[in-house]
Amino acid sequence: MDPAIDCVFVDHGKTTMQTTFCDLPIEKWHQLYRAYYKIVMYVLWENTPDETFISDDTHSVLSDRQKHAALDSRHSVQRLEEFVIVDKQLYDCGKAAPPNTAWQRDNQFSYFLSVSTIAISISTVLIIKAC
C-alpha cells in the first residue's frame, strides 16, 4: 500500500478517463481516504474539516458547479486531493504523528499488526513446506 503522501493527483484538465472517484483504481481510493481520515481524526478542526483545512480559493472552486463536476457527489476527487496536500504539508513540516499522541500510537499499532501478519504468513508457509 502506497502512503497517502505519495498520491499522484488526477489531471482534471487533460485526463478524459479516471476523473471521478469511482473511475479511480482502488489503491488511489485508499490513498485519498487515508489522507482525509488522518487529518480529520488526528488534527484539531473547527465547524467542519473543509472550513479549517481547505483554502478560501479552493473552497470557491469546489462550490462552483461549472468548475467542480462532482459537487453533488460525496466522493469528490478534488476535495480529497486537498486533504492530501494538507497531509503532505504536515509530513514535510515534521508535524505528522507527533510523539506521545494518539496518531503516533495508532501508527505504531498498525505497523506492529502488519509486521505480525507478515511474520505469521512466513511461518505458515515454512510449516506447510516442512510437512
pLDDT (tens digit per residue) in 16-28: 444 677 777 888 8
Confidence of residue 69 (pLDDT cuts 50, 70, 90): low
Question: What pLDDT, on a 0 to 100 scale, did the predictor assign at position 114?
Answer: 84
Domain ranges for the chain, please list them: 4-96, 97-131
**Could you tell me the pTM of the whole model?**
0.67
Digit-coded pLDDT (tens) for 84-120: 889 889 888 888 888 888 888 888 888 888 888 888 8
d(CA 45, CA 100): 20
Whose cell is 504536515? That residue is 90
Question: What is the length of the chain?
Answer: 131
Confidence of residue 82 (pLDDT cuts 50, 70, 90): confident
